Structure 1
Amino acid sequence: MQKLDTFLWFDGQAEQAVAFYLSVFPKAKAGRVLRWGDVGPPGKKGSVLTADFEIDGQRFTALNGGPEYKFTPAVSFMIPCETQQEVDTYWDKLLADGGKPMACGWLTDKFGVSWQVTPVGLQEMLTDKDQARANRVMEAMMKMIKLDLPTLQKAYDAS
């Protein structure tokens, strides 16, 4: 059993956010939805209070918590990608309808949630025992917005 669940605080957009993430990730599935009943404020009767969902077995709960708190890039979700095509697909889907690209493979989606769309081998390249190889990869990555695996690999393989 998973020991930690991720709880995401939205300002009235929890249901839309869950639908969006279900459309982005092929192995995502919807879970339970808790709606406001007759108990008063802040929720309107029948509106979503929380909605559970999973992405590749990772459990999340989206809460309509109100405007008090906002997402920041200080917390992000990393998507390990096997191929450049997978990087491109997640990048494009997560930026759709108002997302914002940041540097070095980071982006913020239209709900303000931060993501790192990262090739699987990047960490190995950046921590290679050959410091010159690692430095070339870091230098190449620091010039990128969306990560480009062939360019990173070329920097890694250069002599």
Structure 2
Amino acid sequence: MTKVTQHLWFEKDMEAAVRFYTALIPGSSLSWISSMPAETPSGPAGSVHIAGFTLGDQNYMAIEAGPLDAFNHSFSIMVECDDQAQLDALWDALGEGGSYEECGWLRDRWGLSWQIVPKRLGELMMDPDQAKVKRVAAAMLKMVKLDIAGLEAAAAG
């Protein structure tokens, strides 16, 4: 079977980021950290660092090799939370030193974009009652950090 792995390019502090992410996201682990033993276009032997890790059930690799392209919204990591307490904890931890955005998006201190969403949002958005879905979507679009009670209230009308 083909294996798919997301790859993240960090300008600096890759190890700190990866250790932070894997400690924070349930079901995650750091598999390995290494440095490139050969000279690369990014620097001499040993200056480029790489890591393999999982976040939840997703495979990732990361490289720290200096500036190239900054992270942007075209790639984000979405974390689906079981309840408001988990959502709040991840929101606060990932957003510290970063910035918060509309609709449950934030950028962490390394510039990586995250979507921190409640599992319940997906359930509400798949409801067969399209009027309910429209109310939920309208409520979500007004939120920065997503609030399950607010989404439920919108669903109820």
- TM-score normalised by structure 2 residue count: 0.90
Q: Does 1:126 align with 2:125?
A: yes
**Alpha-carbon distance between aligned partners in 1 of 2:134 and 2:77, rounded to the nearest angstrom:** 25
5+ residue gaps, structure 2: none
The Cα of 1:71 is off from its aligned counterpart by 0.7
Map of 1:4 onto structure 2: 4
Give the 5 Å matches for 1:94-133. Answer: 94-96=94-96, 98-133=97-132
The Cα of 1:142 is off from its aligned counterpart by 1.1
SS of corresponding position for 1:60: strand
8 Å CA contact retained: 1:33, 1:48: no
Which structure is higher in helix share?
Answer: 2
The Cα of 1:81 is off from its aligned counterpart by 0.7
The Cα of 1:29 is off from its aligned counterpart by 1.2
Identity over aligned residues, as a percent? 38
The Cα of 1:20 is off from its aligned counterpart by 1.6
4+ long deviations beyond 6 Å: none
8 Å CA contact retained: 1:12, 1:65: yes
Map of 1:138 onto structure 2: 137
- TM-score normalised by structure 1 residue count: 0.89
SS of corresponding position for 1:121: helix
5+ residue gaps, structure 1: none
Instruction: Give a deviation string over 1:66-114, Cα, whole Å, max 9, x none.
Output: 2121110121111111101111011011012x11100010111111111
Size of the aligned set, in residue pairs, is 157
8 Å CA contact retained: 1:15, 1:48: no
